[in-house]
A and B are shown apart, each in its own frame.
Chain A
């Protein structure tokens, strides 16, 4: 019978706690900036000039059709080739923002496209500016419609942050891997990490489902 020793892993709790902190910080920044970027890109793809539409379209397709880890490695190992040196943390945040931005753009765009024509015409007839029509009349119900999909995408990006440990960002998987490489308790390390990720993902989903109607698009 295999003997389990969870104490050996939990003894390194400061390392795990720092890892959880880093994962949460990465997620918080990339979720807020990434969703904002997504909304901007969604607007650009629908209402921008042809030139802007093409640029944003290329960005969205490039990111959605390449692996996250390759994007991350390009930012960290590739960019120094042209003189841009990012710390592991900045490279991770940037990769997550850019990644979420592209997916969020398509999700939000879908929400905007289903806005009933009459709603926009009604807003225009009230003499609202185009900006007001977009931010007050079109966007809130659109976000409300796609919120579940957007929340799922944010959770996916949080879980995806696990690969940021590959470039030495000290997030949760990095901590689990480090502990495992010290005491060879692979089963215990990764099951603890799994449990923590599960708890974080469920908590994040509930938090966003709670916060959405209250702070983002109204009930």
Chain B
């Protein structure tokens, strides 16, 4: 009769699999080839959001649209290549870049020191800020007022870290996988407050006037940057040139007016 493998055998095989995994993942160190690859393939793969209107969302026709989507199309057009859009969430957009599943990440990506350790950034291309939103009946004037309340945030998003910085002890922070989860939890009353980007909140308030929602606390002003894999300077500088040109020609301002309803303003470079 066939004997089931012993515990020891299972462990040994698993350990072996773990030991071999790095070897399978080993790749020759790639030296700044992203731009050349893109031009050779005539296609650029760009990670975009589909859960943060008006930057990236899908309409009833399921086609991604929004500021980030048009930005991706603009960059591809200026490079003279086709664009392939891949939808990502806040939590997985950096890994997409690290694992080269995307050449660029244009996904309401803010710049912070932790992220700068693992990926590189171009200059900023659009304005953004994050804040805490909540019902009008709840008094939240200072971070201390958050004590004893539940705040929903999107795991791995800027709000997650910023709330952690200002939150006094006793704040119950609930983390969700993507913006939809965070907003749904707020809409369902599962959390009292939500820390999200202004655009997400604005979009939510416009569509759900029956849910009492207002601005409570500013978390951070953080313009959006385009993420590039670490060390891909050739691609990064090329995209920087495209952004600068689009700024000068007024194309970026047009995008901001179209999707955000306000001019581009001063962006850090």
Contact = CB atoms under 8 A, between A and B. Distances in A.
Interface string B131-171: 00000000000000000000010011000110000000000
A68 interface: no
B188 A1 contact: no
Contacts of B190: 76-77, 80, 85, 88
Interface stretch (B36-44, B58-66, B173-181, B201-209): B173-181
A80 B7 contact: no
B55 to A, nearest CB: 19
Contact of B185 (A168, A180, A182, A186): A168
Nearest to B115: A184
B10 interface: yes
Interface string A163-190: 0011110000010011011111011000
Interface of A: 1-2, 4, 76-77, 80-81, 85, 88, 165-168, 174, 177-178, 180-184, 186-187, 191, 195, 198, 202, 206
Interface in B83-140: 90-91, 94-95, 98, 114-115, 117-118
B25 interface: yes
Contacts of A180: 91, 95, 156
Contacts of A167: 176, 181, 185
A186 B14 contact: no
Nearest to A198: B14
A181 B18 contact: no
B21 interface: yes
A195 B156 contact: no
A4 B22 CA distance: 9
Contact of A166 (B14, B115, B117, B181): B181
Nearest to B178: A166
B184 interface: yes
B213 to A, nearest CB: 16
Nearest to B29: A1
Nearest to A182: B114
Interface of B: 7, 10-11, 14, 18, 21-22, 25-27, 29, 90-91, 94-95, 98, 114-115, 117-118, 152, 155-156, 160-161, 174-177, 181, 184-185, 188-190
Given A2-B27, A76-B185, A168-B176, 14 more contacts: A1-B29, A2-B22, A2-B25, A4-B22, A76-B190, A77-B184, A81-B188, A166-B176, A168-B174, A177-B155, A181-B91, A181-B160, A184-B95, A206-B7
A162 to B, nearest CB: 12
Contacts of B94: 184
Given A177-B155, A181-B160, A184-B118, A85 B189 contact: yes
B18 A191 contact: yes
Contact of B91 (A1, A168, A177, A183): A177
Contacts of B156: 177-178, 180-182
A199 B21 CA distance: 19
17 contacts: A2-B22, A2-B26, A2-B27, A77-B188, A80-B189, A81-B188, A85-B190, A167-B176, A168-B174, A174-B175, A177-B156, A178-B175, A180-B95, A181-B156, A181-B160, A182-B161, A206-B7
A2 B118 CA distance: 12
A202 B11 CA distance: 10
A132 to B, nearest CB: 36
B204 to A, nearest CB: 15
Contacts of B160: 181
Most buried by A among B21, B29, B98, B117: B98
A202 B10 contact: yes
